[in-house]
Structure formats: C-alpha cells, structure tokens
Amino acid sequence: MGQDYYAVLELGRGAKDADIKKAYRKLSLKYHPLKCKEPWAPKKFKQLAEAYDVLSDPMKKGIYDKFGEEGLKGGIPLEFGAENPWSTGYVFHNKPEKVFREFFGGDNPFAEFFAEDGSELVVPFGGLQGRGAMKQDPPIVRNLYLSLEDLFYGCTKKMKISHRVLNEDGLTSTIRDKILTIDVQPGWKQGTSVTFEKEGDQGPNVIPADITFVVQEKPHPRFRRVNDDLIYISTIPLGKALVGCSVAVRTLDGRLLNIPINDIVDPQYCKVVPGEGMPLAQDPRSKGNLLIYFNICFPKKLTPEKKILLRNALLS
C-alpha cells in the first residue's frame, strides 16, 4: 500500500492548504535532526518534507488524491494514441533541508525556530555544534537518465564532473575534470540513487559536498514501467475484442511474443503474461509481469445490413 502523506502530517483527507502549512511548520520543527536526537528523526524529517512537497502543490495533490502514491510516482494514463500516453512520474529530490529552507525562508533556516507554544527559540548559526565548526556543503543532486533497456540488462555509465581541487598551499584551488563510474544493476528503478562522497568543490574550512545521481527513466516507445511490471497498450478493433485475437509484443530483449487473447476484451480488461516484466533488483533471474491493456477501436459507421447482423447476434 502506498504512503499516506496526510497521515505523515497528522491530517485528515479534507485538510486545506492552511492546515497543511501549519502541520508542516509544527512537525518539521519538532522532528528536525538538530532538535530531535532520536535515531529515526532524519527519516521522519524527510517523510515530512516529501509529504509537504506533494500536498502543497495543487497538481501533485490532485493526482495523489485520485490515484494515490503509485499513480503519482508511476505516472497516470493521458490519452491513447499519443507518442507517450503516460504522464511523467513524481520523484522526490531527497533534499528535506531544501524544503525546510524554502518554507521558512533565508539561507540559514536554523537562525530562528519557533517552539510549539509559539515562543521564539534562537539557535546559533552552524546548528548545535557551535560556531567555527567545519561545515559540509549541501549535496549536489544530478539526474541519471536511463532507458528501459539499460535498466533491463544493466550497464556502466561514466559521468564527467568538473570540481575545484585545493592546491598545495591549502588556500587556492584549480578546476579539474574527473570521471565517476556508475555500475547500473539490472532491475534498478526510477529514484534509485548513487552517492559519491565528498566529490564536490574543495575549499578551506569546508567539507566537499557529496554528489548524488538519481535514476530517471527515459520514456519508452512501447512500454511503461510500474514497479517490476511492464505495461503495454495494444490497439484492436471491436470485432477482435469480442471474438478473440492474438497480440504480438516485441520484448526488451528482442523476442517476439504472440499472446493469444481468448477472453472478451472490455475497457478494463488486462492480460497478464507472467515473467515478462523487468528483472527484480534483489534477484535479476526473476522478473515481474507483462500487463497488456487494450485500446478498443469502435467502427465509425455500419451499414444497415451489418446492424441487423449485430442486432441478431447480440440481442437474441
């Protein structure tokens, strides 16, 4: 079952925009890792940021309210016949500090907090570690665009970065290029992240930022991925929907499947082909399913003779 963003913010489904803002203000201050020292605080803080990021945006909230987390992140059908009949799925940027900073304003979100009773609580710049402490730059997040074939087989991607490297004097720096190698494993999903620690710009009195690459799936001309399953939309005429047919599907690894359809196909019908989906990340030898949905084409017009034949066949 998908994540309940309303429950994360301790709200009901009828919450208004003002309720959402008030709940995030209260809970983000309560569970901020600098204030709450429980080991689960960073995870809770991130969940709050993602919930607010979705529910504060009318478009994301509308999709989530109607289709849930799976529809929000997996994409929803737009229209049959389009080049890509599915919307782009939502991916949280994994930067709860950014959400927090933008909500409260300013480059230093820790300068001023408000306690639950509304009283002001001042925290020194640099957080509870005190002034003058070494501070790490915020993480740098980059998208890594991969095709379904890349994620089906696995591949190696080499990413070129340019970053500042401190010279021997410890004060000046030089821009240098570096190649980072990412070994993509079969079955990785959109949102999978790979982090290279401290590969950002070097400088005096700073800890270089981590660089994180987040997998984004490129649109595919034939398939749409939902978790480990692949969705294929087949267009068939009404006659074949009623009497049966065979659907030819070219798989990601180049095989041609001929799938017999012996059932009556209605607009909600789905043909499940086991084991023809994406590899499972935990066991690439196993695969998800191929789900075939149908776009049924109705005839534009019928001759009187055909109408009589259909009436006799369907209404007798």
Domains and CATH numbers, the chain: 1-133 (1.10.287.110), 135-219 (2.60.260.20), 223-299 (2.60.260.20)
Give the predicted TM-score (pTM) of the model. 0.54
Confidence at residue 176, expressed as pLDDT on a 0 to 100 scale: 87
CB 69 within 8 A of CB 60: no
CB within 8 Å of 125: residues ≥ 6 apart = 108, 110, 111, 131
Confidence at residue 5, expressed as pLDDT on a 0 to 100 scale: 92
Confidence at residue 154, expressed as pLDDT on a 0 to 100 scale: 94
pLDDT in tens, 210-220: 999 999 999 99
Q: Determine the 3-state secondary structure of 158 from DSSP.
A: strand
| pLDDT(272) > 50 | yes
DSSP state letter for 313: H
Distance CA 100, CA 95 (A): 9
Confidence at residue 132, expressed as pLDDT on a 0 to 100 scale: 43
Pairing, β 193-196 against β 206-207: unpaired
Confidence at residue 117, expressed as pLDDT on a 0 to 100 scale: 46
pLDDT in tens, 24-70: 989 998 899 888 888 999 999 999 999 999 999 888 888 888 888 88
